[in-house]
Amino acid sequence: MVNAKDMRQDPGRTSARLADGREIIYFDEEAGRVPPPDRRDLPPAEPECETRLDPLTGDPVAITAHRNTRTMLPPARECPLCPSTDDRLTEIPAAGYDVVAFENRFPSFDARTPPVEPYVDGIELFERRRGAGRCEVVCFTSDHDTAFSRLPPRRVRTVIEAWADRTEALSARPDVEQVFVFENRGVEIGVTLHHPHGQIYGYPYVTPRTTRVVASAERHRAATGRELFADVLAAEQKAGTRVIRQGEHWTLFVPAAARWPVEAHLMPHRHVPDFAALTTDERDELADVYADLLRRCDALYDAPLPYVAAWHQAPVRSGRDLVRLHLQLFSIKRAADKIKYLAGSESGMDAWINDVPPERVAQRLRDAKA
């Protein structure tokens, strides 16, 4: 167990601009950084993002043609997330860094996108909106060949500080309704860059999943007078069959209705809407428990597990007393040599079928040698 006191820190935060005007923020474990200039000759960023509403479901769909040209699995020597050198300039102008966040060069949402006509083809049934908001990349380390699960405790803690900082900053923007922190890991998942990194989306709308969760939480409160997340956590703790680890501030468990063959949820013991609301002690324990989960996942098949680590946070302006910050980590691997593909039922009807009992996955994760 890591001594939480030894992990507390106040990383140096330094903001600068890239050659095309995008913001970059360094989170250093020691203060004193002087950001070097970006020496690349880049044209000004001109994103074209829009959202169209599906008239059948009401769900927004982002349309971003410029993302189809984004960098795809370059060799390590051409990685755009590694530090810059004299003969190769990257997205990070510095010769080294601890944790860094910057505006995505190929965003799904961007406030600089130009206005759009309110309807597709002029037909009112097909609503259309400018894709405002903001998308950021978060690099966890300058080491291209490591993984989040192998980061030292202090670095994990610095990443959490960066997540909290960016959540607070993006939540203050008038064009952002929800902030989503996530990491995609593994080519099976669809990553386009191998360098250890995640992303943060500042959506201009409340996402469909969160809208459904808010509705469920509202029904539960109306029927019982209690908080849905608190009752789910208490029920999982009482049952114990799916709990992987329980600490002072967090509980790690496989949900009773897990959709994915490997899925784990990590939930704080008190209601907090987002990363920015976590106390120092909660952030300290989170750094330990989360890294432990990732190591257990990699031990399942004695190989790096492809996964999505999705940090669900409350909307910025609604439902903040209903939605609790929590992690949903999931993987498409249902066996060492088998992948769960989203077939007709899942993709066509959003009706999930899981071949692996959640209780079995929980036991395997408890037994995994982290």
Question: Does residue 159 share a domain with residue 13?
Answer: yes
Query: Which is it for strands 250-253 and 197-203: parallel, antiparallel or unpaired?
Result: unpaired
Q: Which of 186, 206, 226 is the last residue of a domain?
A: 206
Q: What is the CATH number of the domain that holds 288?
A: 3.30.428.10
If you average pLDDT over residues 345-358, what whole number do you get?
Answer: 95
- pLDDT, one tens digit per residue, over 114-136 is 999 999 999 999 999 999 999 99
Question: Does residue 282 share a domain with residue 264?
Answer: yes
Question: Does residue 99 share a domain with residue 42?
Answer: yes
What letter does residue 210 receive in the DSSP assignment?
Answer: H
**Three-state secondary structure call for residue 365:** helix
128: β partners: 52
DSSP per-residue codes, 63-90: E-GGGGGS--S--GGG-TTSBPBTTB--
- pLDDT, one tens digit per residue, over 215-272 is 999 999 999 999 999 999 999 999 999 999 999 999 999 999 999 999 999 999 999 9
The residues assigned a catalytic role are: 197
If you average pLDDT over residues 39-64, what whole number do you get?
Answer: 94
If you average pLDDT over residues 189-218, what whole number do you get?
Answer: 97
How many residues are listed for the chain in this entry? 370
Question: Does residue 123 share a domain with residue 41?
Answer: yes
Residue 110: its pLDDT value, please?
A: 96
Burial of 33 by CB count in 10 Å (0-12 exposed, 13-18 middle, 19+ buried)?
A: middle
Number of domains in the chain: 2
Question: Does residue 178 share a domain with residue 41?
Answer: yes
Question: Does residue 235 share a domain with residue 118?
Answer: no
Task: Tell whether pTM > 0.85.
Answer: yes
How many Å separate Cα 61 from the centre of its chain?
19
31-35, 261-265, 287-291: least confident range: 31-35
